[in-house]
Copies of this chain bind each other. A is one copy, B any other.
Amino acid sequence: VREQTRQRIHRAIAKLRYVPHGAARSLITRKTHTVGVLLPDLFGEFFSELIRGIDLAARRHGYHLLVSSSHGDRSETEAMLRAMRGRVDGLIVLSPDLDGPDFESNLPSGFPVVLLNADGKKIFDSIRVDNYGGSLTVVRHLIGLGHRSIAFVTGPPRNHDAAERLRGYRDAVAGAGGRLLELDGDFREEAGYRAAGRMPRGKHPPTAVFAANDAMAIGLLCAFRERHIRVPEDVALAGFDDIPIARFITPPLTTVQVPIADLGARATAQLLHAIGEGDARRKPWEEVLPTRLVVRSSCGALLRARAAAAAPRSAQTQLPMSTSVQSDEEENDSRFSISPKEERR
Interface residues of A, Cβ cutoff 8 Å to B: 14, 17, 19-27, 32-34, 42, 44-45, 47-49, 51-52, 55, 59, 64-71, 82-87, 104-109, 189-190, 193, 218-219, 221-222, 225, 228, 244-245, 248-250, 335-338, 340, 342-343
Contacts and interface: CB of A to CB of B under 8 A. Distances in A.
A19 B222 contact: no
A219 B336 contact: yes
B19 A27 contact: no
A247 B38 CA distance: 32
Contacts of A19: 82, 85, 106-108
B221 A25 contact: no
B338 A23 contact: no
Contact of A24 (B27, B52, B109): B27
- Most B CB within 10 A of own CB, among A23, A108, A225, A245: A23
B65 A17 contact: no
Nearest to A20: B85
A20 B86 contact: yes
Contacts of A44: 48-49, 52, 244
A48 B69 CA distance: 13
A338 B156 CA distance: 24
A82 B20 contact: yes
**Copies of the protein in its oligomer:** 2
- Most B CB within 10 A of own CB, among A66, A70, A104, A218: A66
A78 to B, nearest CB: 11
Nearest to A341: B225
A250 to B, nearest CB: 6
Contacts of A64: 66-68, 83, 87
A108 B20 CA distance: 10
B340 A22 contact: no
A136 B284 CA distance: 58
Contact of A245 (B70, B221, B248): B248
A66 B245 contact: no
Nearest to A81: B19
A85 B22 contact: yes
A51 B67 contact: yes
Given A14-B105, A48-B48, 7 more contacts: A17-B105, A24-B86, A33-B83, A44-B48, A64-B66, A67-B67, A189-B336
B87 A23 contact: yes
Given A65-B68, A109-B17, A336-B222, A25 B86 contact: yes
Contacts of A222: 335-338
A225 B27 contact: no
A84 B66 CA distance: 12
Contacts of A337: 222
A335 to B, nearest CB: 7
Contacts of A71: 59
Contact of A42 (B24, B42, B51, B87): B51
